[in-house]
Chain A
Amino acid sequence: MRTESFAAVVDAEHERTLRLACLLAGDRDLAEDATAEAFARTYEQWVAGRITDVGPYLRRAVVNQVKNQRRSLARLRQFEARQFGDGRGARRDDEQVVAADTVVALLARLPHRQRAALVLRYYDDQSEAAIAEALGCRRGTVKSLLSRGLATLRAEAARAEGLPDREEVASSLALEGAR
């Protein structure tokens, strides 16, 4: 359904979009940036009458924006490392703004597509088909991204908690969640 006004679109979607971007980017500033750019792109399509339901388009734009940011950052860090030959290109722990939650922090270590798939699935409650559309891949790929993402997350969580096996990780996650 075509929304009446783009202001209403922003109004309705901004928070959900920003939260999605925050989980994806792990950083509030980057998320704001990605959100704005995603809305700007969506607006251009919307005003031209090319899209009626902005949701999927917006999701995809946010995912792409965050991906691009990460690529730019990676490039920048490489350049810095090359330029100075020291560790200043490396990601630092204090860059985490959103990631007060350990699981969110661990998410940030996943490859972009795995993280995006997990966030879209478990935060945004999207179907595999919608995720496939947002990521520009096939549904089968989404399945494998999700399962690999979860596995990596568990392994990372285990390492972070210093726990030996998967069951304990699960229970520790449960404990933390209950806290």
Chain B
Amino acid sequence: MTLDEQRLRQRLHGAASQVRGDPEATWARVSRRVAQRRRRRAAAGTTAALAVLIGGAALVPGLVGQPADEVVLHDPVADEPPTAAEAEPPDDAADADPAETDDQPTDAGWQRVTVAADVTLEAPEAWEVHDAPTTQLAAGFPAGPAVLVDRQAAPLGRPGADADWPEGVAVTSATAVPEVVGEVAAKGEATTLGDVPARRLRVAAPMITDVPDAQGPIDLYVLPGVGEGLVLEVADAEGARSQEVLERFEADAVDEEGLALGVVEGDEQVLAVDADGEVGAWTTLQDPDQPLALAPAPGSDADSAVAAVRTVGDDVLVLAGDAEGAEPVWRAPLAGGEPVDWHDGVGRTPVWSPQGTHLAWLADDDRLRVTGWEDVGAVRAGAEPVLDHALPVAGLGLDDGGDAVALDRWVASERPDLLVASVEGARDGAPARDYRGLRAQVDAGEDALMVPPEPAFDDFGDLPAPAVPAEEVSASLLGDTEPVTLEPPENQSPTVLQAVRVGHHETFDRVVWELAEGDRPGVDVAYLDQGAPTDPLSGAQVDVDGEAVLLVTLDRAVDEAVERHVPHAEPYEGPTRLEGAEAVTEVVRVGEADASVTWAIGVTGEQPFDVQLLEEPRRVVVDVAH
């Protein structure tokens, strides 16, 4: 026992001793965090200051190029951050691979961007850079076009008025900083906070809290009348109570248990609940004892769940989902009763524009459709939507008026892949902003999207269409030099190479291997560690121009030795050495063996690359960043 403990101690100390901190970097990060937390508190209770984009017009002058406004900690004694030199003697190991820990762009180079001249923007400030995958996109603010990105899978579980919360439900604040998890009484209790009507959700025995001063129960006040605020009230050891405004609710929410709740703003606060599978029951906060009954929309069933609600004028807009993924969506008068209009499923993840004029959704064929609400039925009957685009999309959002759309293609699970475009522009074939590969940055505190000063532009029309569903695409987004491997399906018969092409694009070069119909090949793409590639059969070296060699192996694919694997097929007779473009110096066939073909891409250096597998015709696409 003693031995084990000693060993464990040694091992832990050994592992820890390899970690060297950089006090300056820590200081800078802490400084940004403090600034961020201040801004959050300042913004709470007022309309949140907005960030972000939307394509179609010009950048607001003056934004780009301003220095990041780093908020410095107020240090009453010494405001001098420690320097690396005083804090730590130089040590080779201290700088252990900066790329590993700090490969993100510096804040200074990144700006919040908008194209709407009437949107008020704060001066760019220091931003915390996150490359967490975005999971939800919401768009639209009264102030103007904007897109919000929520990097959390589960937004704040909404403590709704009289919803019967399951016992032990976790009230968590996913984006607000303090977090409280504990059991909440089934129903909140009507009260006031100051003069403001509020509903108190008492967390009697907080199991987990990171409000360290809190003693005893923690109260969460929902303020329906004040911008959907949530106030945290805690008592410290002396019994003094303090309050902190946590969050404004901007979005509808789904709690972790899957109970869908949505609270909408308006003259009347409406809570739509999915109680016992009955979709569309709702009630008002003002009169919680008199829940209004809403007939479930035709087409919804017991497996449906209310996914989102929003009020616009006298109507409430409701989105729901069912087991098939086709989501009924309807609008109905706030006063309750029969839905005035509904559609029995518009596809997956429908999103309302803020004013309820437009709806975006993912159709069964994985195409993104955006259309006016009035025309949803027409689109389903075959009419043209406002926007019909082929992209695997994991999340999307619409801005005011439905004239911009944010897509999160999320082809790789690790990073956000955002495309923000003007629907208007997309319809006209005009360029849209493509953030592909730019590792759009999500601000943790303000849910804002950060884009680099010079976003890459790409034509909407240039994106491959139709694309395979997201789950069949394996890609490491541009910004990555890590190997990408996509295993072939089992019992796959080899497919035959048809063509190889090299294309030049504004920010990347694209190499395409087009394959015959048949099974999907496996793909393996990786930079060669050193030396030249060798023919797998003869062992002969194959010379490749360029500083780095990106080896592309198509498993279960053939190009020359076709007759052995695919009877009656024609071998590939195209060039085996192709000219490069910008980053790509040349593309050379290396060889094939055992129904596995290897090609090499000569690259000017180890540039980030991206691999996609596309259909109709079947193509393996490797994009190499300039």
Contacts and interface: CB of A to CB of B under 8 A. Distances in A.
Contact of A67 (B15, B26, B208): B208
Contacts of B32: 36
Contacts of A11: 23, 82, 86-87
B33 A36 contact: yes
A129 interface: no
Interface size, B (range): 35 or more
A80 B135 CA distance: 8
A13 B141 CA distance: 42
Contact of A123 (B4, B9, B20, B86): B9
Contacts of B20: 15
A62 to B, nearest CB: 11
Nearest to B469: A84
A68 B210 CA distance: 9
A174 interface: yes
A132 B11 CA distance: 23
Contacts of A154: 4
Given A7-B27, A10-B27, A29 B101 contact: yes
B82 A122 contact: no
B212 interface: yes
A160 interface: no
Given A11-B87, A32-B29, A154-B4, A123 B75 contact: no
Contact of B15 (A37, A104, A118): A104
Given A75-B256, A101-B11, A40 B34 contact: yes
Given A15-B20, A75-B154, A85-B471, A136 B30 contact: no
B73 interface: yes
Given A11-B82, A11-B87, A36-B30, A61 B210 contact: yes
A98 B18 CA distance: 9
A97 B533 CA distance: 29
A14 interface: yes
Interface in A27-70: 28-29, 31-32, 35-37, 39-41, 43-45, 47, 50, 57, 60-61, 64-65, 67-68
A61 B212 contact: yes
Interface in B1-54: 3-5, 7-21, 23, 25-27, 29-30, 32-34, 37
B11 A28 contact: no
Contacts of A78: 153
Given A15-B88, A123-B16, A174-B3, A7 B78 contact: yes
B12 A174 contact: no
A72 B14 CA distance: 29
B3 A83 contact: no
Nearest to A94: B482
Interface string A1-13: 0001111101100
Given A79-B153, A84-B471, A136-B208, A37 B33 contact: yes
A39 B153 contact: no
A37 B34 CA distance: 8
Contacts of A8: 78, 82
A177 interface: yes
Given A64-B210, A67-B208, A101 B80 contact: no
Interface in B53-83: 73-82
Contacts of A41: 210
A28 B210 contact: no
B82 A86 contact: no
A57 B210 CA distance: 11
A131 interface: no
A170 interface: yes
Nearest to B87: A11
B413 interface: yes
A39 B30 contact: yes
A45 to B, nearest CB: 8
Contacts of A43: 30, 34, 73
Contacts of A17: 21
A166 B208 CA distance: 34
Interface string B118-155: 00000000000000110100000000000000001110
B21 A15 contact: yes
Contact of B100 (A45, A89, A97, A122): A97
Nearest to B256: A75
A44 B135 CA distance: 30
B365 interface: no
Contacts of B18: 98, 100
A85 B413 CA distance: 13
A19 interface: yes
A47 B76 contact: yes
B77 to A, nearest CB: 4
B131 to A, nearest CB: 9
A119 B153 contact: no
Contacts of A39: 26, 29-30, 33
Given A7-B75, A75-B152, A153-B8, 4 more contacts: A5-B76, A15-B23, A72-B152, A98-B15
Interface of A: 4-8, 10-11, 14-15, 17-20, 22-23, 28-29, 31-32, 35-37, 39-41, 43-45, 47, 50, 57, 60-61, 64-65, 67-68, 71-72, 75-76, 78-80, 83-86, 88-89, 97-101, 103-104, 118-119, 122-123, 136, 150, 153-154, 170, 173-174, 176-177
Closest 3 pairs (CB-CB, A-B): A40-B33, A79-B153, A36-B29
15 contacts: A5-B77, A5-B80, A8-B78, A10-B82, A17-B21, A18-B21, A28-B19, A36-B26, A47-B76, A76-B133, A89-B413, A122-B9, A123-B13, A136-B209, A154-B4
